[in-house]
């Protein structure tokens, strides 16, 4: 990966290239913006530029030297990469303490030590206060990059000590381009890009054929009258559990399936108002029309609410089987 491969953030890329050229980087940045738009990738590219050991280009990384490989694989001794563990709701003080003690050591290879703290908005209060000390007196030659989606949840004292860099959602065409690069065909790429709200990370997560197969099954079950809640819940659980043994993968799949359902219900609402987008694919149009016949506007709004609630519950680690059973019962 090099700067030229970073898509959709041209203005920020030029800004950072300029800072690198003049060696005027601040000691702490807060990268903030929607999920999945490439903030961490950007931070890693910045780290690579600083840690690359080839002298051919002072502001871009060569992508070939051992240091570049180590940054890519997350094993560079001068790069500390942390994020909230999948099974936790918060970033704890232990993680912050480890960052501080590793930052205090001299750089092992180059002249800089870099810490990238993903999910920084998930730091709990004790962790945030501990981190504040590192921010107030950062070890020389260190660069701190916090990555967050919501600046409001961070301590104002942390935000004020960082240069805030705002990332925005990508255009549909940029997301389509990224998806095509990952082997997605044009039609599906267009559909995924629109669904993703400008987040390539979300679009790539949705580019899973199993999800779309399940969406089809879900649509046909929901169009049936009556819909059997036990069968619906069972098929949903089986689908979610087939994501893998670990809870994080199952949760992720549950959220994605709920998000696809939210989209179908939103399209059904549009259909009820005779306002389906003209460029909507045939398949979604057909499902939306069927769902709009099955439920009236009030019911659709209520179902949408229930889905969004379920998504929040999954996020809060409520037991998946409970969430899916309750959601299936709502639809029946």
CA torsion sign for 207, 208, 212, 214 is negative
Nearer to Zn ion, 56 or 153 (CB): 56
Q: Considering beta carbons, is residue 54 or 124 the nearer one to Zn ion?
A: 54
Q: Give me the long-range contacts of 276-279 (CB less than 8 A, separation at least 24).
A: none
From the number of C-beta atoms within 10 Å of its C-beta (0-12, 13-18, 19+), residue 76 rates as buried
Minimum separation from the CB atom of position 109 to Zn ion (A): 11
**Smallest gap from residue 21 Cβ to Zn ion (A):** 17
Which lies closer to Zn ion via its Cβ, residue 52 or residue 95? Answer: 52
**Size of residue set near Zn ion by CB under 5 A:** 6
- What is the distance between the alpha carbons of residues 40 and 32, in angstroms, rounded to a whole number? 10
Distance CA(188)–CA(186), nearest Å, equals: 6
Report the residue number, 54 or 289, with the smaller CB distance to Zn ion: 54
CB of 61 to Zn ion, least distance (A): 5
Q: Does 129 bind Zn ion (CB under 5 A)?
A: no
Smallest gap, in angstroms, from Cβ of residue 6 to Zn ion?
16
x/- string (CB under 5 A) for Zn ion, residues 224-243?
--------------------
Counts for the chain of helices (H) and strands (E), in that order: 15, 5
| Cβ burial 5-43 (10 Å sphere, 16+ → b, else e) | ebbbbeebbeebeeebeeeebeebbbbbbbebbbbbbbb
**Residues between 197 and 216 that touch Zn ion (CB under 5 A):** none
The CB-of-51 to Zn ion minimum distance in angstroms stands at: 8
Q: x-or-dash pattern for Zn ion, window 55-74, by CB under 5 A?
A: ------xx--x--x------
- From 167, 196, 185, select the one nearest 263 (Cα to Cα): 196
Contact call for residues 304 and 312 (beta carbons, < 8 A): no
Residue whose CB is less far from Zn ion, 15 or 64: 64
End-to-end CA gap in the chain:
48
Q: Smallest distance from the beta carbon of 3 to Zn ion, in angstroms?
A: 13
Q: Which of 54, 92, 129, 266 binds Zn ion (CB under 5 A)?
A: 54
Which residues is 91 bridged to in the sheet?
123
Closest approach of Zn ion to the CB of residue 7, in Å: 21
**Is the CB of residue 284 less than 8 Å from the CB of residue 188?**
no
Nearer to Zn ion, 16 or 295 (CB): 16
Nearer to Zn ion, 25 or 59 (CB): 59
Tokens of 126: 């004790």
What is the smallest separation between the CB atom of 48 and Zn ion, expressed in angstroms? 7
Pick 47 or 135: Cβ nearer Zn ion: 47
Q: Which stretch binds Zn ion (CB under 5 A): 54-62, 75-83, 107-115, 280-288?
A: 54-62
CB-nearer residue toward Zn ion: 61 or 130: 61
- Letters for 33-52 (x = contact with Zn ion by CB under 5 A, - = none) are -------------------x
Tokens 């043994």: give the residue: 245
Q: How far apart are CA 198 and CA 221, in angstroms?
A: 30
For residue 68, the minimal CB distance to Zn ion (Å) is 3
123 close to 91: Cβ distance less than 8 angstroms: yes
Name the site residues for Zn ion (rule: CB under 5 A): 52, 54, 61-62, 65, 68
């Amino acid at each position: 990966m090099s700067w030229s491969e970073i898509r959709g953030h041209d203005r920020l890329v030029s800004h950072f290239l300029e800072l690198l050229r003049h060696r005027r980087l601040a000691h702490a940045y807060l990268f903030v913006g929607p999920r999945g738009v490439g903030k961490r990738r950007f931070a890693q590219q910045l780290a690579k530029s600083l840690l690359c050991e080839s002298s051919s280009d002072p502001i871009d990384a060569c992508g070939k030297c051992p240091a570049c490989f180590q940054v890519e694989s997350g094993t560079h001794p001068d790069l500390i990469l942390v994020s909230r563990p999948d099974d936790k709701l918060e970033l704890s003080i232990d993680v912050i303490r480890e960052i501080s003690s590793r930052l205090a050591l001299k750089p092992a290879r180059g002249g800089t030590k870099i810490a990238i703290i993903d999910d920084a908005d998930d730091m709990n209060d004790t962790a945030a206060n501990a981190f504040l000390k590192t921010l107030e007196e950062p070890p020389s030659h260190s660069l701190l990059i916090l990555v967050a989606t919501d600046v409001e949840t961070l301590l104002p004292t942390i935000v004020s000590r960082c240069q805030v860099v705002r990332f925005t959602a990508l255009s549909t065409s940029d997301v389509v381009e990224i998806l095509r690069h990952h082997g997605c065909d044009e039609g599906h790429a267009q559909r995924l890009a629109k669904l993703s709200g400008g987040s390539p990370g979300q679009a790539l997560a949705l580019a899973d054929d199993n999800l779309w197969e399940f969406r089809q099954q879900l649509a046909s079950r929901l169009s049936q009258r009556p819909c059997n809640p036990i069968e619906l819940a069972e098929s949903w659980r089986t689908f979610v559990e087939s994501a893998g043994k670990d809870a994080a993968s199952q949760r992720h799949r549950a959220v994605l399936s709920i998000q696809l359902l939210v989209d179908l219900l939103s399209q059904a609402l549009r259909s009820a108002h005779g306002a389906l987008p003209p460029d909507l694919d045939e398949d979604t149009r057909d499902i939306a029309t069927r769902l709009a016949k099955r439920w009236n506007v009030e019911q659709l709004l209520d179902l949408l609410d229930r889905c969004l609630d379920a998504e929040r519950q999954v996020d809060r680690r409520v037991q998946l089987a409970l969430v899916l059973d309750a959601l299936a019962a709502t639809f029946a």
